[in-house]
């Protein structure tokens, strides 16, 4: 078996083991596989540049210098730190798997990940969210596409869902009477219940009635107009078109709506623990990082709560 096949086969074996053993989300497995194959391509290209036959590269020949060179190449090409960090995580996980299964020492064990940039997603102010949700790009707001898009934006903002969680929803996950949505096996494979506001529930009901392909109890909530489940990329494009048409600042992503939800909840008096529960964060530190806390808000909380002011 050639090295090209060897590394590809080992990556596939690792991806299969990851999915089976840790019940990792499909996105995690897909991303790890893609990142490892990108590392493999770098090694093959590097061998060709050095005048070696590309089929002489095998996994056992990979050293810490190879990994460092790859990370340096990514940074030279202006890759985001988060991207470099994620790719190193995939490489480390791959070599840990080899260490466990065949006892091969990991060349990436001592390589430290670059510190992540603490940049926060763009958010909208409350009046800007209102403009986004109420904006109409067509004279007729009752078309299936318009009703679906309204349901997308209202639900994302109302619940703070990740876009992957939104597109993964089935109608059985929404309890209209309780005004709650069940997120099944979200990030970290944890189910959670999240409240939905009346505007979101109303938008979902209208979309449900207008769906071109009749809804089913176990069927997807957010679909294209042919009845297929919408992709995360499609939601991003729909949001981008709405942002531009409404004349709002560019750069907002679906995750920015989640961030806006958390920021506005905090600003209106919600406690961090409740926001943590709704967002599905394992750590409160993550929730703190995803919320803007203004100095004035902190001062006001302090003034009201501390007895000696």
Report pLDDT for 79: 87
Q: What is the mean pLDDT of each run of 10 residues along the chain (309 residues)?
A: 65 86 71 91 81 68 91 89 89 92 90 65 82 78 91 94 94 94 73 92 96 94 95 92 82 84 86 88 79 62 72
Edge to edge, the sheet with strand 192-195 lists 174-175, 180-183, 192-195
Q: Is 187 considered catalytic here?
A: yes
Report pLDDT for 4: 45
Report pLDDT for 294: 56
Tens digit of each residue's pLDDT (9 = 90 or more) over 229-279: 999 999 999 998 888 888 887 677 888 888 889 888 888 888 888 888 888
Report pLDDT for 110: 87
Report pLDDT for 96: 92
Instruction: Judge whether 153 and 133 are in contact, CB under 8 Å.
Output: yes
Annotated catalytic residue, options 87, 98, 258, 259: 258
Q: Is 162 considered catalytic here?
A: yes
Tens digit of each residue's pLDDT (9 = 90 or more) over 57-84: 688 889 999 999 999 999 889 888 888 8
Annotated catalytic residue, options 32, 70, 97, 290: 290
Report pLDDT for 143: 92
Annotated catalytic residue, options 66, 242, 259, 281: 281
Q: Is 290 considered catalytic here?
A: yes
Report pLDDT for 2: 45
Report pLDDT for 67: 92
Residue 254: count of CB within 10 angstroms of its CB: 24
Alpha-carbon distances, residue 67 vs 63, 80, 139, 276 (angstroms)? 7, 17, 55, 36
308 has which bridge partners? none
Cα–Cα distance for residue pair 281/272, rounded to 1 Å: 11
Q: Is 233 considered catalytic here?
A: no
Annotated catalytic residue, options 81, 92, 187, 229: 187
Answer yes or no: pTM beyond 0.85.
no
- Per-residue HEC secondary structure of the chain comes to CCHHHHHHHHHHHHHHHHHHHHCCCHHHHHHHHHHHHHHHHHHHHHHHHCCCCHHHCCHHHCCHHHHHHHHHHHHHCCCCHHHHHHHHHHHHHHHHHHHHHHCCCCCCCCCCCCCCCCCCCCCCCHHHHHHHHHCCCCCCCCCHHHHHHHHHHHHHHHHCCCHHHHHCCEHHHEECCCCEEEECCCCCCCCEEEECCHHHHHHHHHHHHHCCCCCCCCCECCECCCCCECCHHHHHHHHHHHHHHCCCCCCCCHHHHHHHHHHHHHHCCCCHHHHHHHHCCCCHHHHHHCCCCCHHHHHHHHHHHCCCC
Report pLDDT for 199: 94
Annotated catalytic residue, options 34, 255, 292, 297: 255
Phi/psi-derived region of residue 85, left when phi > 0, alpha when psi is between -120 and 50, beta in every other case? alpha
């Amino acid at each position: 078996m050639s090295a090209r096949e060897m590394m590809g086969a080992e990556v596939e074996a690792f991806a299969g083991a990851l999915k089976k053993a840790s019940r990792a989300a499909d996105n995690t497995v897909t991303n790890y596989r893609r990142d490892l194959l990108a590392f493999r391509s770098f090694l093959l290209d590097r061998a060709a540049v050095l005048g070696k036959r590309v089929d002489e590269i095998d996994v056992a020949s990979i050293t810490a210098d190879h990994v460092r060179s790859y990370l340096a190449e990514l940074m030279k090409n202006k890759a985001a730190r988060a991207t470099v960090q994620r790719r190193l995580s995939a490489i480390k996980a791959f070599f840990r798997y080899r260490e466990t299964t065949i006892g091969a020492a990991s060349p990436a064990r001592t390589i430290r990940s670059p510190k992540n940039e603490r940049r926060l997603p763009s958010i909208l102010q409350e009046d800007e969210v209102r403009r986004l949700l109420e904006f109409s790009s067509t004279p007729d707001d009752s078309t299936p596409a318009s009703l679906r898009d309204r349901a997308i934006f209202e639900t994302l903002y109302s619940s703070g869902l990740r876009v992957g969680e939104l597109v993964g929803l089935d109608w059985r996950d929404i309890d209209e009477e309780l005004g709650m949505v069940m997120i099944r096996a979200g990030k970290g494979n944890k189910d959670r219940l999240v409240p939905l506001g009346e505007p979101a529930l109303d938008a979902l009901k209208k979309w449900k009635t207008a769906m071109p392909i009749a809804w089913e109890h176990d069927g997807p909530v957010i679909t294209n107009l042919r009845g297929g489940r919408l992709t995360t990329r499609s939601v991003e494009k729909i949001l981008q078109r709405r942002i531009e048409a409404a004349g709002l600042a560019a750069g907002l992503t679906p995750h920015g709506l989640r961030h806006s939800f958390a920021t506005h909840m905090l600003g209106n008096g919600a406690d961090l623990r409740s926001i943590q529960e709704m967002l599905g964060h394992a750590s409160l530190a993550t929730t703190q990082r995803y919320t803007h806390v203004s100095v004035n808000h902190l001062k006001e909380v302090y003034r009201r709560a501390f007895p000696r002011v």
